[in-house]
């Protein structure tokens, strides 16, 4: 065999090995790129989750300051709950709905022509703006025979820049105890 032929054969072999090695390296690089893309996706999900957690954490928190059954309307007993915003941004709107045994809905708009009551029952009511430390009375219509029950309030809260949060609070309502003899509710009888 002549030297040039041997050199050509060896060069072809080296070239084939180099091509195979390059193909393996390309396959490894593609796998690494896919892995890096997956890591980026996971990192983005983690960042989005952390942002959502921070958004929720800076949102409003509510409590029930007082709750009782209001029996001033003999046709429709109502749960009266005093909702307080304990923290969070000022809100432009809070839409409240209620659930629980014996709950028929929210006390809605004043309507003197409505049957049985001067207020129209609603599925939900917007109690309007509220800020940290603010309170709002919420009235929940109860079934005629319900005087004691647990009421769960669902609140959809919106701030002025479009932030929206969903919150829930609950309380038990019962009639206020009768005042001591000789004393009316809130005033002294002489």
Pair (74, 29) in one structural domain: no
* Same-domain check for residues 14 and 43: yes
- 23 and 81 share a domain? no
Closest to 84 measured CA to CA, from 125, 140, 131: 131
| 125 and 107 Cβ atoms separated by less than 8 Å | yes
The verdict on 90 and 29 lying in the same domain is no
For the chain, what's the residue count?
190
Residue-by-residue pLDDT tens, the chain, 190 positions: 677 877 877 778 778 777 888 788 888 888 888 888 888 788 788 878 788 778 788 899 999 999 999 888 767 889 999 999 999 999 999 999 999 999 999 988 777 776 666 777 889 999 999 999 999 999 999 988 888 899 999 999 999 998 999 999 999 999 888 777 766 655 554 4
SS3 letters across 67-114: EEEECCCCCCCEEEEEEEEEECCCECEEEEEEECCCEEEEEEEECCCC
Q: In what order do the strands lie in the sheet with 61-70?
A: 61-70, 78-87, 135-142, 103-110, 119-122
Quick one: 45 and 67 in the same domain?
no
CB 63 within 8 A of CB 81: no
| Rounded CA separation 172/174 (Å) | 7
Assess whether 102 and 8 both reside in one domain. no
Give the total number of structural domains in the chain: 2
Judgement on whether residues 52 and 79 belong to the same structural domain of the protein: no
CATH number at residue 113: 2.60.40.1820
25 and 66 in a single domain? The answer is: no
Q: What is the pLDDT of residue 85?
A: 97
Both 166 and 111 in one domain: the answer is yes
Predicted pLDDT at 186? 56
**Domain that residue 72 falls in:** 61-173
């Amino acid at each position: 065999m002549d030297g040039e032929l041997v050199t050509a054969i060896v060069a072809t072999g080296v070239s084939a090995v180099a091509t195979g090695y390059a193909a393996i390296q390309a396959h490894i690089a593609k796998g690494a790129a896919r892995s890096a893309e997956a890591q980026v996706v996971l990192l983005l999900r983690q960042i989005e989750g952390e942002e959502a957690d921070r958004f929720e954490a800076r949102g409003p928190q509510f409590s029930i300051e007082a709750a009782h059954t209001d029996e001033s309307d003999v046709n429709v007993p109502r749960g009266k709950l005093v909702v307080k915003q304990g923290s969070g941004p000022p809100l432009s709107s809070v839409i409240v709905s209620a659930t629980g045994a014996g709950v028929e809905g929210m006390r809605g708009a004043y309507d003197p022509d409505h049957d049985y009551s001067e207020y129209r029952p609603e599925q939900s009511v917007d109690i309007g703006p509220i800020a940290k430390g603010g309170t709002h009375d919420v009235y929940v219509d109860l079934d005629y025979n319900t005087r004691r029950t647990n009421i769960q309030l669902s609140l959809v809260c919106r701030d002025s820049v479009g932030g929206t949060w969903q919150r829930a609070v609950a309380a038990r309502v019962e009639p206020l105890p009768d005042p001591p003899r000789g004393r009316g509710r809130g005033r002294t009888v002489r």
